[in-house]
Amino acid sequence: MSLRIYTDGSCLGNPGPGGWAWAIPNGIRAAGADPTTTNQRMEITAALEALRSNPTDDLVIVSDSTYVVKCFTDRWWSGWHRRGWKNSQGKPVANRDLWEPMIEAALADHRRVGFEWVKGHSGDRWNDVVDELATTAARTQEDRPPGP
């Protein structure tokens, strides 16, 4: 059975101060901040931190970011590797510094990781929880280490 982890990123301005968060329903959660970032970077960071904080579990990352989810469900990462880290338009892949460790963590041989999209701001309880955590981190620029 896979552990479901909800993730979200937030940015107040784009670029601007940002925050990321992840939460295990009825379990631990974490959040962090970045003073100058983008929404896309915070979405990736949220999923990456969830993977890093739960390194041995089989996981399903639940995100409202199609950017994060489609990288895996549509195997964008495979094309990036094949094209030498160029996107389909031949330009360098944005946020490669985050994608590389995330892809490595998600594709590790010792576990299975799936990705699932959830519509943001649609009343999904746990998507709302991580949205609030990420927005608070962006606003306060305070980190929240893993805990209840």
Catalytic residue, from 90, 97, 110, 121: name it.
121
Q: Annotated catalytic, 9?
A: yes
In angstroms, rounded to a whole number, what is the distance separating the alpha carbons of residues 69 and 86?
Answer: 19
Query: Around Cβ 24, how many Cβ atoms within 10 Å?
Result: 20
Is 121 catalytic? The answer is: yes
To the query of whether residue 131 is one of the catalytic residues in this protein, the response is yes
| Residue from 19, 32, 43, 49 carrying the catalytic annotation | 43
- Point out the catalytic residue in the list 8, 19, 32, 49: 8
List all residues 6 or more positions away from 79 whose beta carbon is below 8 Å from its beta carbon: 87, 88
Look up residue 93 and give its DSSP letter: P
> Cα 55 to the chain's mean position, in Å?
15
Among the listed residues 18, 32, 34, 64, the single catalytic one is: 64
In contact, 8 and 46? CB cutoff 8 Å = yes
Which of the following is catalytic: 104, 131, 132, 147? 131
Determine whether 128 is an active site residue. no
13 is a catalytic site residue: no
Could you say which of 9, 18, 19, 32 is catalytic?
9
- List the catalytic residues: 8-9, 43, 64, 121, 131
